Amino acid sequence: MPEVRMEGVEIVKKPERGDVHYNSENEGQKIIMQVENLSKTYFQGKIPVHALRCACITVKRGEFLAIMGPSGSGKSTLLALIGTLEKATDGKIILDGTDLTSVPEKLLPSVRREKIGFIFQHYNLIPTLTALENVELSMRFSRVPKKEREERARSLLEELGLGDRLNHKPSELSGGEQQRVSIARALANKPALILADEPTGEVDSKTRDSIVQIFKKLSEKGQTILVVTHDPEVAKECSRVLRITDGVIKDY
């Protein structure tokens, strides 16, 4: 991928990964994301609500990181800020060489597509499209050629055990299968970071465990994953756990 410069925002050239995933001892030790003094304050009338307070996080490439905390603690706010879905009140987020907090609003969608993969609790698949089409669609806006889109989507779904479900629509898939399609979709543009918001919240314990194992294998291959979860069984499989209380992060 060539170096891209957008109105003063530098998108650093990604390392060559060859396949959809890559594995390198040296790459695994590099810092992929630095969150510096990140804060978010809302106002309820004239009353300030500090949803996040001076968060500082350093994440290495390939980490499988859990974010835990009670409802209203700031988990969703942190995820929204890192995912560029909301603007920070203060602080910086440096992801894969790009300062996300300095990217102009009109360029955020393209940066989001290139840098971040999203996995949601409720899957968010398009019901009229097949599994293959759902994954392929995520690459169209990145202008990936059609043949490459189809090959990459097929390869990802087969890798995730869905080779015989390529032409099935979401209504014809189990909850675990739908979540695996959403994982393939998140991986399709080879993101620097995957943000997973309660990805096992709608599945049974057996399916939860299989999804966690998928995440662990992706992490071992160099994919960085941040997962928001309430489930201690998910958290204990992660390489590190961040706990948030009243907008303050503690690293365990």
Confidence (pLDDT) at 252:
57
Could you give the CA distance from residue 7 to residue 12 in angstroms, rounded to a whole number?
14
Domain count, the chain: 1
Confidence (pLDDT) at 202:
86
User: Residue 235's domain is classified under what CATH number?
Assistant: 3.40.50.300
Give the residue carrying structure tokens 């087969």: 158
Confidence (pLDDT) at 3:
40
Angle (nearest 5°) at CA 78 between 32 and 13:
25
Confidence (pLDDT) at 14:
41
Selection from 251, 232, 156, 155 nearest residue 194 by Cα: 156
- The beta-carbon contacts of 111-115 under 8 Å, at least 24 apart in sequence, are 111/9, 111/11, 111/84, 112/83, 112/84, 113/138, 113/141, 113/142, 113/189, 114/11, 114/142, 114/189, 114/191, 115/191, 115/192, 115/193
Domain range enclosing 21: 4-251
Residue 68, strand partner residues: 243
Confidence (pLDDT) at 175:
93
Q: pTM to 2 decimals?
A: 0.84
Q: What is the pLDDT along the chain (252 residues), one digit of tens a residue?
A: 344 343 444 333 343 333 333 343 444 469 999 999 999 998 988 899 899 999 999 999 999 999 999 888 889 899 999 999 999 999 999 999 999 999 999 999 999 999 999 999 899 999 999 999 999 998 998 889 999 999 999 999 999 999 999 999 999 999 999 999 999 999 999 999 999 999 998 889 999 999 999 999 999 999 999 999 999 999 999 999 999 998 999 875
